[in-house]
Amino acid sequence: MPGKIVRLPDSVANQIAAGEVVERPVAVIKELVENALDAESQSIEIQFEKGGKSLIRVLDDGVGMSRDDSILAMQRHATSKIREVQDILRISSFGFRGEALPSIASVSKFTLRTRQKSSSEGTEIRILGGGKPDIASCGMSPGTEVTVANLFHSVPARRKFMKTDRTEAAHILQMCRLLAIAHPEVAFSLIEDGHEVFRSPICADRRERVREIFGKRRVEDLISLEFERDRIVVSGLIGRPGVGRSTRAEMITYVNNRPVDSRLLNYALIESYHRYLPRGRYPVAFLFVDIPSGDVDVNVHPTKREVRFRAESVIRSVVMTGLTERLADASSKALLKFEKVESKPVDRSEEPSIPAPSVLPSRSEPRKPFPEIIEKPYVPPVSRITKPVEKQTPVASSEKVSIWQFCGVFREKVGIFESPDGLILLNARAARERILFERIEKSLQGESIPQQPMLIPPMLELSPLQASLLTDQLSFFERVGFEIESFGRHLFRIRSIPAWMQSEQPEPFVEELLQKINNRGLRPGDTHPARTMVARLAAISEARGFSVRDRNDWETLAKSLLNCDNPLLDGRGRPTFVEMRNAELTRKLMLDGPIKESDGLDGLG
Residue 397 pLDDT grade (very low, low, confident, very high; cuts 50, 70, 90): very low
The pLDDT score that the predictor gives to residue 266 is 92
Secondary structure, 3-state, 530-560: HHHHHHHHHHHHHHCCCCCCCHHHHHHHHHH
Domain that holds residue 273: 221-336
What integer is the mean pLDDT of 501-525?
A: 80
The enclosing domain of 512 has a CATH number of: 3.30.1370.100
- For residue 356, pLDDT beyond 50: no
Q: Say if residue 341's pLDDT is above 60.
A: no
For the stretch 529-568, pLDDT in tens is 888 888 888 888 888 778 888 888 888 888 888 888 888 8
Q: What is the pLDDT of residue 516?
A: 82
Residues 312 and 242 in one domain: yes
What pLDDT does residue 362 have? 41
C-alpha to C-alpha distance for 246 and 512, rounded to whole angstroms: 6
pLDDT at residue 375 above 50? Answer: no
Q: What is the DSSP letter of 85?
A: G
In a domain, 159, yes or no: yes
Q: Please tell me the predicted confidence (pLDDT) of residue 299.
A: 67
Spatial separation of the C-alpha atoms in residues 552 and 370, rounded to whole Å = 9
Strongest mean pLDDT among 8-22, 167-181, 288-302: 167-181
The answer to whether residues 121 and 238 belong to one domain is no
Residue 337 is predicted with a pLDDT of 52
My answer on whether 421 and 308 are in the same domain is no
Q: How confident is the model at residue 463 (pLDDT cuts 50, 70, 90)?
A: confident
**Same domain (yes/no): 121, 89:** yes
In a domain, 4, yes or no: no
Residue type, 194: G
| pLDDT tens-digit readout, 223-264 | 999 999 989 999 999 999 888 887 788 899 999 988 998 899
| Pairing assessment for the beta strands 43-49 and 55-60 based on DSSP bridges | antiparallel
Task: State whether 413 and 316 are in the same domain.
Answer: no
- Tell which wins on pLDDT, 120 or 527: 120
What is the dihedral angle through the alpha carbons of 481, 482, 485, 490, rounded to the nearest 10 degrees?
-140
On whether residue 573 sits in a domain, the answer given is: yes
pLDDT of 450? 84
Parallel, antiparallel or unpaired: strands 143-149 and 55-60: antiparallel
Kindly state whether residue 352 falls inside one of the protein's structural domains: no
Listed range (36-50, 330-344, 442-456, 529-543) with the worst mean pLDDT: 330-344
CATH code, domain carrying 226 = 3.30.230.10
Helices (H) and strands (E) in the chain, counts: 19, 25
Interval 586-601: pLDDT, tens: 888 888 765 555 555 5
